[in-house]
Amino acid sequence: MTTSTVLLKAPLIFQMPPNKWSSSPFEGCILTWEKNVLIVRPRSSESEPEMPALRNKTWLYDCLRHSPVKRIYLDPALDSSKFKAWADICHATKKQIYLNVPSAPDLPQNRQPILWRVKRLADWCVALLLWVVLTPLMGLLAIGVRLDSRGPILFRQWRVGYQGRLFQICKFRSMATDAETRHHKVMTNQKGLLHKLEHDPRVTKVGHWLRKFSLDELPQLLNVLRGEMTLVGPRPWALYDAVRIEPLLQQRLRALPGMTGMWQVTARSKFCDLAAVNRMDLDYLRQWTFKEDLKLLLMTLPKVVNGFGAF
């Protein structure tokens, strides 16, 4: 059954003349409805029907808001330019949105559920303590960001979280306000590598210092308190990196991401091969122990102080 059954609650979408439809980031998508779940995939041929509502953001918003759909899954094969648009409109219509990735039965919470609950309780308690203790420092950093360049103090970006669900990570803004629009132009030559540059022209003066000592990541404590991240875990992938992960490694995207982890304390920006980083994350998940997380957490502080591999 296709989503046309769901979206008929807004019948006027079929009455607007084609010449009044403007280009939309949602065009070129095919929607399939399965038990209150909407699956979004790229259109493979011109013969496949396309929902007229996809050509107008306002109409699509109304359709989603009135539909019984609860979760939306995005096919990783979609054009990268469409992910943020879908994430934003799902956030506005209060729909859960996921990247459609392979199942991962070998996650730590499945193998050691009791220890995992202890870890999650420790996450919340430590994150709350750090939030209270570091609030004065974060206040000073916020002032520094505000004085250094125009734009918001905090930077929010869609990342892939637990079970592939998208969430907005929170960081101190370390780049110019147009950084997202310039991203693909700056990262043109990063094929097969993480989208990171040692001398990124978008980074501000204060941002360079923040990134050097990982201070831009302190607001992620809020993500931990919300349950969207853990203190120790795999890197939280941005969408433009996540969609480039080869299918055999995409199950890694089911894991709960962390503020620090194996890659962050042992390799970081000195080791940027996309596939190799994901293999490292999968090895960490398969061999996970509570003791190893404590060890990685203790290793983080000296790495942060000396600015290990950060840019």
Give the number of other CB atoms < 10 A from CB of residue 127.
Answer: 21
Total Cβ atoms within 10 A of residue 108: 21
- Predicted local distance difference test score (pLDDT) of residue 179: 75
Q: Is 229 helix (H, G, I), strand (E, B) or coil?
A: coil
> For residue 67, how many other CB atoms are within 10 A of its CB?
20
pLDDT of res. 56: 82
CB-based burial, 10-25: b 16+ in 10 Å, e otherwise: beebeeeeeeeeeebb
Where are the domains positioned within the chain? Answer: 4-99, 108-305
Q: Which residues pair with residue 160 across a beta bridge?
A: 166
| pLDDT for the residue 4 | 40
pLDDT of residue 20: 40
Query: Which of 284, 281, 265, 261 has its CA nearest to residue 273?
Result: 281
- Whether 29 and 43 have beta carbons less than 8 Å apart is answered as yes
Residue 105 pLDDT = 82
Q: What is the pTM of this model?
A: 0.84
Q: Which amino acid is at 194?
A: L
| One-letter amino acid of 157 | Q
Distance in angstroms (rounded) separating the CA atoms of residues 30 and 303: 46
CA distance 239 to 218: 21
**Of residues 282, 274, 270, the one with CA closest to residue 311:** 270
**Exposed / middle / buried, residue 84 (Cβ in 10 Å: 0-12, 13-18, 19+):** middle
Residue 310 is predicted with a pLDDT of 60
Distance, C-alpha 61 to centroid of its chain: 22
pLDDT of residue 195: 56
- Tally of helices (H runs) and strands (E runs) in the chain: 12, 8
pLDDT for position 8? 32
- What does the pLDDT profile of the chain (311 residues) look like in tens digits? 444 434 333 332 333 334 344 467 888 888 888 888 999 998 877 777 777 778 888 888 998 998 888 999 999 988 877 898 999 999 999 999 999 998 888 899 999 999 999 999 999 999 999 999 999 999 999 999 999 988 999 999 999 999 999 999 999 999 888 777 776 676 665 555 565 666 678 889 999 899 888 899 999 999 999 999 999 999 899 888 888 888 889 999 999 999 998 888 886 666 678 888 899 999 999 999 999 999 999 998 888 877 655 64
Which SS3 state, helix, strand or coil, does residue 38 take? strand
Q: Give the other-Cβ count within 10 Å of 49's Cβ.
A: 10
Is the Cβ–Cβ distance between 246 and 276 less than 8 Å? Answer: no
232's enclosing H/E stretch is strand 230-232
Compute CA distances 157 → 154, 172, 220, whole Å.
10, 11, 11
**CA nearest 42: which of 100, 104, 94?**
100
